[in-house]
Structure 1
Amino acid sequence: MTPMSLLVLGGAGYIGSHMVKRLLEEKEDVIVIDDLSKGHEKAVDKGAVFIKGDIRDKNLLRSVFEKYKIEAVFHFCAYMQIPESLVKPNDYFDNNIYGLIALIDVMKDFKINKLIFSSSAAVYGIPESSPINEETSKSPINPYGLTKLVMEQMMKWNGSAYGINWLAFRYFNVAGAQMDCSIGEDHHPESHLIPIVLEAAAGKREYVAMCGNDYATRDGYNIRDYVHVIDLVDAHYLGLTYLRKGGKSDVFNIGSKHGYSVKEVVDAVSEQTGINFKVINAPRRGGDPDELVADSEKIRHVLGWNPRYSDINTMIQSAWNWTKMHPNGFKQ
């Protein structure tokens, strides 16, 4: 009997590669599709089957579904740089929205009925209050966030039409790396706070700019919620288990329920690395909310998610260890 496989789209990226590693630890059979426009083939565990390709290529998807008996699909292949989405919105509509249309079209033909989707807190836009629960009003302020919201709605309607059970996980901020330093975060350009600050600690960046110090927060700097990438992929595996047991389609926030300000993150990096780097204050960026913190009670209650690495120092230290061991990321 042919074993059932799990398909990880975008499995060469930061989160996707950690998901692949997690699935292999559970002795799952894993197939990866990634076009390597953002990811790194070296990040894909050798225990997985790697196929270079684009989610929008229906013929490729059909060939994979014909060759392998796919039980469920993990979707990590959306474009995700907010500044880029503002200057190249059609690239985001094409890759993200059309990519999901192509995927669902082929999934329904092969009667694959489990889909786990990487969504984002960007669907909320600038919320009126914090912490944010799943019912908080949604008003994205950039094309990236809009695509994620549209994709959630697409899964809702297509799921009803074709019997696909899906889960959407709305991430807040993801950080950290594998504890053995085998894989970690390697984006070009980098837009996430913790790796940017670590680049300054490593001497790759002249300074860290903290944008805006007059927010309505405890220290004047905006506050964000961070979750360790290992805890994040643990949540996805719990989601797969939930769907396997007949769980119904749903949406979950993934966050720690505790926020850290930009200054607190910068200070923590300095403390964890033992390095004093240059920090400057810069003007606010447009559209930056004062505080984004997740109410993650739902995922804890429904899926039994219990993060193991929720301390910001653990996230920073694992990311710093990866940075020191791989100063050029996956290039070396």
Structure 2
Amino acid sequence: MSVLVTGGAGYIGSHMVLGLVDRGEDVVVLDNFTTGFDWLISPAATVVTGDIADGELVGRIVKEHAVDAIVHFAGSVVVPDSVRDPLGYYFNNTAKTRDLIETAVRHGVPNFIFSSTAAVYGEAGTEPVSEDSRLEPLSPYGRSKLMSEMMLADAAAAHPLSYAALRYFNVAGADPQGRTGQSTRGATHLIKVANETAIGKRAAIEIFGTDYDTPDGTAVRDYIHVTDLIGAHLAALDHLRRGAGNLVANVGYSRGFSVRQVLDVVREVSGVDFAIRESGRRAGDSPSVVANSTKLRQTVGWVPKHDDLPEIVRHALDWEKHLLKRNAG
């Protein structure tokens, strides 16, 4: 049996591949390499270039590699971009996910793990946010993910398919062993952008919105180390394989940091007093989103190991320095 990882050449996907390989799983990566990098993928994985909406290709992979689980990361992830190009996001994130689910059902893949997001909550009105909070996404990105969750639930009700939809909060950091990390050009993730500024790749970093109803006026987020996120996926995979039922769960640490607090930590860890500029709010951004992760902890026994913002920043900074040397060479 093997696991098919879509988007396995990307930031989170490449970490998932490592997590599976490290515990002895056979892994197949399917990626179209629009934003991913082949050098991020563990050499122990089989790599196929292609699109998740290509049912013939995905079906062949499932058959040839005896795939018993699909872990689906492929998609577009930038909230402001989704506001500018909503139809592109509905096509790439929703329509193609629909095709992938159909292929999984047609070929009898029993387990499906979906990369969802805290953006499905929008301004939930409660903190920390639990899975039964109001679902009112503020952006096409969040709605595209919520639609995919709905399709999965309906497909699982009609067919022998078990699924887990994991709603991520703000993923950051890099593999502690330095094997992979966030490498996307022009990334918008706060910790990555701040670290790029600290090492001189950017002249300054912008704070988008300083008038939110938060302690210091900047947006508050729950930052989770990517390695802990992968631990949640592995636990969810084990949960599905033992027939324990479908799962919709938040993945976060249940405590938030403001943008200013994060930038202070990056300055401290890097030792660089980099320039900060203030701008207006971005469309689709929530003032504060912090996870209630009790369900995940209790249901699958997930125990985070890297719940420490300076450690997250340090691992991300180490990766940025690695990229700087790699690109220079």
Instruction: Give the TM interval when normalised to the shorter protein.
Output: over 0.9
What's the counterpart of residue 227 of structure 2? 230
What's the counterpart of residue 260 of structure 1? 257
Task: Kindly provide the CA deviation profile for residues 17-45 of structure 1, in whole angstroms up to 9, marking residues without a partner as x.
Answer: 00000000110000000000111111110
SS where residue 222 of structure 2 aligns? strand
What's the counterpart of residue 53 of structure 2? 56
- How many residues align? The count is 329
Matched, 1:293 2:290: yes
Aligned partner of 2:9 among 9, 12, 20? 12
In 2, the alpha carbon distance for the partners of 1:240 and 1:329 equals 34
Task: Rate the CA distance shift 1:329–1:121 in 2: closer, same or farther, 3 A.
Answer: farther
What's the counterpart of residue 205 of structure 1? 202
Aligned partner of 2:303 among 301, 306, 310? 306
Aligned partner of 2:30 among 29, 33, 37? 33
* Structure 1 residue 295 displacement after superposition: 0.6
Is the CA contact 1:186–1:329 (under 8 Å) kept in the aligned structure 2? no
Q: Which runs of 5+ in 1 are unaligned?
A: none
In 2, the alpha carbon distance for the partners of 1:198 and 1:247 equals 41
Is the CA contact 2:8–2:29 (under 8 Å) kept in the aligned structure 1? yes
Matched, 1:86 2:86: no
Is the CA contact 2:129–2:292 (under 8 Å) kept in the aligned structure 1? yes
What's the counterpart of residue 284 of structure 1? 281
Aligned partner of 2:105 among 102, 108, 128? 108
What's the counterpart of residue 121 of structure 1? 118
Q: Which runs of 5+ in 2 are unaligned?
A: none
With normalisation by structure 1, the TM-score equals 0.96
Task: Kindly provide the CA deviation profile for residues 150-169 of structure 1, in whole angstroms up to 9, marking residues without a partner as x.
Answer: 00000000011111000000
In 2, the alpha carbon distance for the partners of 1:133 and 1:329 equals 41
SS where residue 105 of structure 1 aligns? helix
* Structure 1 residue 237 displacement after superposition: 0.2
* Structure 1 residue 129 displacement after superposition: 2.0
SS where residue 327 of structure 1 aligns? helix
Percent of pairs identical after alignment?
38
Deviates more, 1:273-282 or 1:143-152: 273-282
In 2, the alpha carbon distance for the partners of 1:143 and 1:289 equals 13
What's the counterpart of residue 68 of structure 1? 65
With normalisation by structure 2, the TM-score equals 0.97
